[in-house]
Structure 1
Amino acid sequence: MAMSMKKIGAIAVGGAMVASALATGAFAAEKVGDVDAFAADVVADGNANVDIVVGSNAAALDVVSAANIAAKIGSLMFTEGTVEDGAATVSVKAEAESDDEQVYDADDEANVGTFPATFVTSADKDYNELFNDSSFVITNYVSLGKLDTLVEIDDIDPSEWYSDEEDNAAELVYATVSSTSKVGEFDINDSDVAYISAVTNDTIEDGFVKLQPGMRIPFLGEEYVLVKVDSDDDFVVIGKEVFDGVIKEGESYDLGNGYTVKVDSVLSPLGTTEEPKVNVKILKDGKTVAEKFDTTQIKMVYGDIGVVVNSAWENVGSDYGYAELVIVDNVVKADLGEEFLPDWELYLFNSDATITDIDDIFEDDASKSGLVVSGLALKYVGDDEEGLEGGDDFDIADYVTFDLEDDDDDTNVLFKMDQAKEVSLAIGQSVNVLNAEIKLAEIDAEAKEAVVMTAPIAVLDSEASLDAADKGLILVGGPVVNALTAELADAGLVAIDNESPATLAVAAGAANGNDVLVVAGGDRAATEEAAEALIDML
């Protein structure tokens, strides 16, 4: 019973500003009814005059479209003055379920399947198959398909530091379940459950690749940059990207809060085969607090800030130099082989092709001979959980739940997620959170007096009703994914099918006397285009 992402929470506001996740460029949508009048009335007296409704079984793109519309409307709820720069906070809440597998039949009073069994899910079922096809042995592998809110990154090396291939990274979890002497009861033991974030070839089936500094990797629902794996003291450093690009010698990048990263100098080598030396500094209120002068690759960390300088060069006339680097904040430094969370130890994911025992994929020695670091892993090291039966569940790193579902006395197993993540973005910054990419293209807000959003303006179709509406509705998604759109279609008030272009259609008075705007198209991409066309109008 695979289900897609289906919940979105309120769009949070930070300070006197709110995000407007607004795509650039012009977007076209077919208009039906007085769309312009509806758009002009979405905010009244400084408050949202509409509810946004997204389908309970909506795809991630529809959820993001609803979030973007909500953020734009939120930005209109501020009066007097203009905010030209700054940051915003966005909160996304999502639920998902994997496929399920029956493990106990109540009618036959018998377990179903062979035990111990290892149940696997990931951001895409192809990662399950790659995991199973690796050199290490998985006991009675059972794929439970994909879990939509696990994160997948389509290009881990966007600046092509290491390769022009668009290699991937994805989250995967597994749980090995053992039967007991009592039919219908099961055990989950120490070391038999893990969360893995792995990097792979862009085709996935061609195998795991090496994780290197500057690469992007998901970790517990958010995208990070690997700063370093320290082979002397066995720890890793990751952080959230704030800048990725080239800085000219003598220039700086301002992180805010008084911190800047400066490329102080680039010195040409004496020999033609040597690398240039770069002097990079981290400054606080104009004073140097950390400095490193070396050939690339340079990795440095100070407090909450990390820098990886990958390469440097001088211009043709040797007048000045440049450095290519990535800067991160929200740095996480964690020791290998130690508890990252209670009962969950952090390891490197070792994809060495000579490994045959699955326990050996978890490595805490960063200098080990033959080690091929292909990601990060959290392994369960808590107490054995014994006698689990239908209705019980097992928490995986406070992120995913392994559920033994009671289904009319039968027992099915599946993975579930119910997560909320709050992220801060600067203008131009994008984040990948719960497998949805959100970009803050601009902040369009007034700053002298803020109108506080006291309730979510984005709700599920199961939480809204045409008959009980007390304001206008914006329905995101066509009749297949949004139950309220389906009601309008059945009543002949809108016409949306799988061939429809991006469409903005008003059903006048259809929501208890209030107007309804349907934002939809024949597929997810068309719905996204319709949403962006509406955002451009607001």
Structure 2
Amino acid sequence: MKVRKIAAIAVGAAMIGATMGYASAQLNVPKDFFVKDGAPNVKIVVGSNAAAMDVASAADIAVALGSMLYTAEEVQADGVSVIVKKDVTTDPDDLLVYSNWYIDRNNTIPSATDYDSLPDNAWYNGSSYYNGAYTDWEAYYAANPWITEIEDMDSIKGDKQIDWDITVEDLKITDADTEDVPTKAPKSATLTANVTVEFNYVIKKWEVTTSDTDDQWGLTTTTTTTTIDDDQPSGGNFVEDVYSGITKEMTFTLLGNEYYVLDVTNTTLTYGNDHGENWFHVGDEMEFDGYKVQVLDISINENRALVKVTAPDGQSDLVILESTAGATDVFSDGGILLTLENTFVGIDGNLIAQVTIQTNVKTIESGGELVSGWTTTFVTNAAGDTIEKIILKKELSGSTLDILGKYKIYYKFEGDTKTADFDNDGQEDDTRYTARAWIVIEPTEKVYDTQELKVGDELEGWTIDQIKGDTYTKITVKPPAEPITVLDSEVDLNNVDSNLILVGGPVANSVTAYLVDQGVSTIDWYNSDGDIEYLEDAFGDYDVLIVAGKNREATKAAAEELMAYLKDLA
């Protein structure tokens, strides 16, 4: 037997810590002893009668070895298509407020020498030049509110077709420092405005017919397109209603909040959770949104039922339901409503109560608050059973107004001083002061349009000629095709076909004992505090790594050192 002993590394318990790092540095087992081409190149051998701790150490080594079972190669990424995106955010025009600039004052040279001497009549009032007082500015924007529409923000019956029609009106400015109504543009300001958001739940189908005449032959081609929207498109003809509004037993969203409609009148909306009809035998208990409902008794003759209801907070009450009484609000807070529909004898001879159950029921009147902080108005059809529009209104105030998280509105002031020959006396000793102020309306988030392009596609005059990809590291995991942990009794010493990791000394592992008896292993395992011994060509062309010690604790210490070594190799 050709044997070349490479290393015997001591990892005794007394050396754990500072010495283990040294031991790892000294251990020099090649990576291909453990794995080759990403596949296991070794078997872990544990004694048939070994202690449980030795088996656990073998398992730990197997797990550490698993982190090395892969191949890595640099490959070229082939591009099939490319996704491009473009910023299509609509940035509204700012609202004009104040200016004494030369160009804004009908080519009048500014006369102000400092901020305090700014004119009171340089407010924007809708004319070609800034020549109004603050009250003129306020009146102009009262008559000309800022209006915008954000499409497809809410849904009806799960169909996201509802737009947000936003109006910002009754704008007012207050000097943030003095809290007074300003006469000239303040350097900082508090804004106040009424914000109205209209949601139109009547969605229609429209047809738009267009015609085009050929330049060469004079032939006319007619094209008809269909669109679905709440607003009539230019030249559009009504086809049919897609949704006529919000009705009973319908789901809709408002500002992203979902509601299930239980009832609609011309002034109210009732919503909540409808659990439908439920059948109870005497003694049956069912739970609905945390409310427990138990039927205690049923009277067929009187068409009544005695019911115990327990709320999520533990509060309980007994109620008598009568089929002629309609819905009973058990706790008088809309938490749970019970309606006795009928009582009868089932085919099994048992009494049955048929009860309709609704939970978390709320009724909002027009003028109330469906969304906290917003006054709600319902616009219904003539019959009063369908809500066609919901209008929310709220007064906002502050240095920055948040419009539903989509826009922010704030005041901006810029002042500037310049010394020059303004009076044309040949002396550049005249100081003038100018100021401009406006209200900024700014989107709070970017909107992007994306497009997928392939070779041959064109983009803004450019043709996609080829799509290249960078190189990247391709990792291929190679799970073991057969077990890599075996018992010593399964190893044929006359026909070893793999490198071996032997866990345990000569007492616990018969293969280790064989190598000791043959003089191949020279470690004094009976007194070892934990060693790793690497034996090259121990079995023909196959190497052996012994991980052992004088007892199970010492073997565990050696196994932990090998795991650390494998981690560095991975």
Question: TM-score interval w.r.t. the shorter chain?
Answer: 0.3 to 0.5
- Tell me the TM-score normalized by structure 1: 0.33
TM-score under structure 2 length normalisation: 0.32
- Which structure would you say has the larger Rg? 2
